[in-house]
Structure 1
Amino acid sequence: MKAHKNVVEPSHWPKYLRYTQSYIYHSSVSLEVKKTINEGPKSPQRSSSSQNHNSQKNNHVVIRHITEPSHPAYNQFGLFASKKIPAKAHILDYIGEIHADERLTSDYDLSLLRLKNGESIGIDASTTGNEARFINDYRGIKLKPNAAFIDYRTDSGELKMGIWAANEDIKKGDELLVSYGKAWWKARTELQ
């Protein structure tokens, strides 16, 4: 799929995926839920000065093909630091299709919001997304993750799922690694 007008795909972006720098809403998402996502108080614990704004090209990361046979994502892709990233800094946001339907088989689906009525709103980057969809789990690569998924609200109040550096600097060339969480791994073993 082609990128949107004025949006440049990053190097090594697979041609079978749609690149986007902003949320795309699935028809399962109501207007009320869109409003909840787009309008809320700014997160007090996160500094907007450290945020990459999605309208700007992300220059903190690069997508690389993984060629090491011992790597759990061998012959797939990973996300790497293109320059040093300070501890606890915002790296980029996880962008994809916002949905309210179940997507049990997607390996690229994150929970964004759970509503009071129990409805779960997710971000699925299986067919459309940004560089963040290539971040791998740390298991089998390092002893611990060097980044984390943390939700926050921008200065305008939009709810985002950010990827933030952990408590130590990330060196240029290091692979960015998070924990997918026990629930993600449990769901994968149940599907087998």
Structure 2
Amino acid sequence: MPKSDSGRLPKNWPPNVSYLTAPSYSQALSAAHLSSLRTRPKDTQDIPPNTPSGPCPLVKITPITSPSHPAHGQYGLFACKDLKPGSFILPYLGEIHGPPSCSSDAASPSCVTSSDAADPHAASDYDLSLDRELQLAIDAQRKGNEARFINDYRGVADRPNAEFKEVWDPRRRERGMAVWVLGEGRSGKGRGGVKKGDEILVSYGRGFWGARKTDG
């Protein structure tokens, strides 16, 4: 059975994945990585103070039944209510990790990656970059929250209706990633938020799909 810090699990949560209500940390993170993680970057938004610790009431994990959907037979994340443009949805939780060869006593935040070092996150489809320079990322493959079920918009809609953005958690006083509804844009037109019952969709980015074309 999956573990949960709160004792509650969202409906349709997979039995082989641990449910998180707070970030998990790789034991291989260096002191320098942790220091950077707890230093607020400029121009980052705060996670709203009323964000619940546990299942998010704004979303639900739902089986994908449409044969034309690229994730048919899997799951997606859907809105439980209308979500306004530019509004916060939920944090992206998982295991925060650095490069595969970092040791817990490493002095440098950008440890030298050995070609022989096994990277347990290399094949993950749930690994989201937090800091490319320091090679910090958040992997929700084995442990995470509802945000891990967000699908890419390609093959589903004309464009995404949400996005991943770096955030600052004032309660934990550390950096993180979260999911936000896309804003209205400069014109204030063209994006009406996310309607109740709609699937929440982001763009995984060209790098994600490029790496899988190479692997294939």
Under a length normalisation based on structure 1, what TM-score does the superposition of the two structures give? 0.89
Is 1:169 matched up with 2:189? Answer: no
Kept in 2, the 8 Å contact 1:43–1:153? The answer is no
* Shift of residue 53, structure 1, vs aligned partner: 2.7
Mapping of residues 1-192 of structure 1, within 5 Å: 1-37=1-37, 39-41=38-40, 44=43, 46=45, 48-49=47-48, 53=51, 55-100=53-98, 101=100, 102=119, 103-115=121-133, 119-156=134-171, 157-167=173-183, 168-192=192-216
Letter of the 1:78 counterpart? G
Kept after mapping to 1: 8 A contact 2:59/2:79: yes
- Kindly indicate whether the alpha-carbon contact (under 8 Å) linking 1:43 and 1:154 is maintained by their aligned counterparts in 2: no
Aligned residues: CA RMSD:
1.9
Stretch of structure 1 that moved more, 164-173 or 180-189: 164-173
Gaps of 5+ in 1: none
Letter of the aligned partner of 1:108 in structure 2?
Y
**Pair member with larger Rg:** 2
Name the SS for the 1:33 alignment partner. helix
Displacement after TM superposition at 1:32 (Å): 2.3
Aligned residues of 2:9 and 2:55 also touching (Cα < 8 A): no
Per-residue CA shift, 1:16-37, capped at 9, x if unaligned?
A: 1111111111122112212321
How many matched pairs? 187
Q: How far has the Cα of 1:2 moved from its partner?
A: 2.9
- Per-residue displacement from partner, 1:127-157 (whole Å, max 9, x unpaired)? 1100000000000000000000010212243
**Which stretches in structure 2 are left out of the alignment for 5+ residues?**
101-118, 184-191
Identity %: 40
Q: Is the 8 A contact 2:12 2:61 kept in 1?
A: yes
